[in-house]
Structure formats: C-alpha cells, structure tokens
Structure 1
Amino acid sequence: MAFDAGKFLKTPDLESFDNLKKEELVLLAKHLKFNFKVSMRKQIIKNLVIDKLVDAEILGEEALELKVENVDAFKLKQLELEHELKKKELEMKEMEKIKVKELEMKERLEMDKKEKEDEFKLKELEMKLKELEMKERLEMEKLKIEMVKEESNTKVQSKSDYFDAAKNIRLVPKFCEKNS
C-alpha cells in the first residue's frame, strides 16, 4: 500500500511517524515543499520534517524527542569535514598532475626547439658543403681547361721546336758580300 502524505497529515500519529521509512519521509518532505536532496541521510530528512510539523503545530512538542541526537550531527559534521579533506587532497593531486604535465610539455618544447636548431644547423652545414663542392668542381674545371690549353700550347711548340728556314725565308737577312 502506497504512502499518502496528505492522509498522514490529516491524522498525524507520533508512533507511525517514527516508523516511517526514508522513501515515505521523502514523499512527506516533498508534500511539505522542502528544498532538500534525496541523497541526504534519513535522520536529516526526519529532523527537517519534525521541525516543520512542530512549527506548523501538526505534531506536538513531544515529537522533538524523536529528533536525532547531537552526536549524530557531530558525526555528520565530521564526515563532511573528512569528505572535504579528501576532496582537497584529490584537488592537490590533480594540481600536481597538472604541474607534472606542464613540466613534461616544457621539456618536450625544449627538445623540439633543440631538434629544430640542430636541423637548421645541419641544413646550413649541408649548404656550405654543397657550396664547397661546387667551388671544388669549378677549380677542377679551371685546372682541366688550363691543362688543355697547356697541352695545345705544347703541341704547337713541339712542331716549332725546329726552325724551318724555308717557311721563314723572309726572316733571313739578305746576303751581302760587302758586309762580311
């Protein structure tokens, strides 16, 4: 049989109120238009409902004796503090993880920067090497050209090592007996 909050409020009974289950207390609290979370403990919801019913004079002052003792409230406060402490510890761990990730990223960036610099230096060296190779090739070509010129000059000289008077007759002075 389903719990009817309206029916209960018409004929409230302290004993039946004390025996209500959490689900029934939630229905009663919703009927009374409370702002609460369903995840709250049964004792807290029960205390809220008792306060509201006593203020509205639906239940008498004797209902206040059903409220949970302060020891439970102290335990609840302690649990809340422990929960907050755990949350802060988790936050600190997350912050540490974030810091570690930041450090890793900085290291990666530095490594990438060094790699880029090394690549740039390597490319510069490769360009200088190519330039030197081209200069060397140019020098080799010059030497080849000079050697070819010298060879052609030596061939010409080898033919002209002997003096051919017939070819160069005009260079021979005229013979005069008087001068001899």
Structure 2
Amino acid sequence: MLVNFLKTPDLESFDNLKKEELVLLAKHLKLDFKVSMRKQIIKNLVIDKLVDAEILGEEALELKVENIDAFKLKQLELEHELKLKELEIRKEEFKLKNWNEGDGEKERR
C-alpha cells in the first residue's frame, strides 16, 4: 500500500495506509513524532507535511481529525460509562432495599 502511495500519491491510497505505513512515511518525511502516538495524530502530521509540500491537495485536510474531537469523544465515552455505573448502583440499591423490606415482613410474621 505504501509503495503504491509513494509511486502515485493520491488521497484514497493515503487514507487506507495502516499505522505502520504512516510511521514509515513520517520517518521518510523526517517528521518529529513518537511511534507511541495514536494513528490519527501521526496521520494529521503527515497530512500537514504532504499538503505543505504540495504532494497532496488541500482536500487532504478534510481527512484530519482534530485532537479536540478525539478529546470530546473520549469525554462522552467517560460520561456514558459514568451514567451506566450510576444506574447499576441504583439498581443494586433498589434490590437491597426491596430485599431488606422483605426480611422485615418475614420477621413480623
């Protein structure tokens, strides 16, 4: 895939590159990055470089996902997880309350 992109750089083949291929391309372009970075962040860096070098057109910028979007997505995931935990706790409290009320009735009989 990377070889195809290097021969004839186009948006579709670039968008289909795997992280390992993006890492190789970023090294080839002498970009400042860490392999531990998320794929999208490396992809954003490569897009900026390729657009600046006029290897890819400005339309490539549409492939960028801003970090703020990733941050918002993570925040929404965490909020959703928190709501699920809260519901789980309420459910357990409800079960416990009903169980305790049931015990009280048995003792009175």
Range class of TM-score, shorter chain: 0.5 to 0.7
RMSD value, Cα: 2.3
- Counterpart of 1:55 (choices 52, 63, 66) is 52
Match of 1:149 in 2: none
Match of 2:12 in 1: 15
> Do the aligned partners of 1:14 and 1:63 also contact (CA within 8 Å) in 2?
yes
CA pair 76-47 structure 1, distance change in 2 beyond 3 A: farther
Confirm or deny that 1:26 pairs with 2:23: yes
> Do the aligned partners of 1:3 and 1:24 also contact (CA within 8 Å) in 2?
yes
- Cα shift at 1:75: 4.5
> Do the aligned partners of 1:9 and 1:58 also contact (CA within 8 Å) in 2?
no
**Structure 1 residue identity aligned to 2:47:** I
Query: Share of identical aligned residues, percent?
Result: 88
- Counterpart of 1:36 (choices 27, 33, 37) is 33
State the structure with bigger RCO (CA 8 A, min sep 6), 1 or 2. 2
Q: Provide the C-alpha distance between the structure 2 equivalents of 1:59 and 1:43, rounded to a whole number of angstroms.
A: 17
- Cα shift at 1:3: 3.5
Q: Provide the C-alpha distance between the structure 1 equivalents of 2:58 and 2:13, rounded to a whole number of angstroms.
A: 16
Q: Give the greater-gyration-radius structure (CA).
A: 1
Unaligned runs of 5+ in 2: 76-109
Q: CA-to-partner distance for each residue in 1:80-128, whole Å, 9 max, x for gaps?
A: xxxxxxxxxxxxxxxxxxxxxxxxxxxxxxxxxxxxxxxxxxxxxxxxx
Q: CA-to-partner distance for each residue in 1:13-32, whole Å, 9 max, x for gaps?
A: 10111111000000100000
SS in 1 for 2:47: helix
CA pair 9-3 structure 1, distance change in 2 beyond 3 A: closer
Q: CA-to-partner distance for each residue in 1:5-50, whole Å, 9 max, x for gaps?
A: xx63341110111111000000100000111100000000000000
**Structure 1 residue identity aligned to 2:22:** L
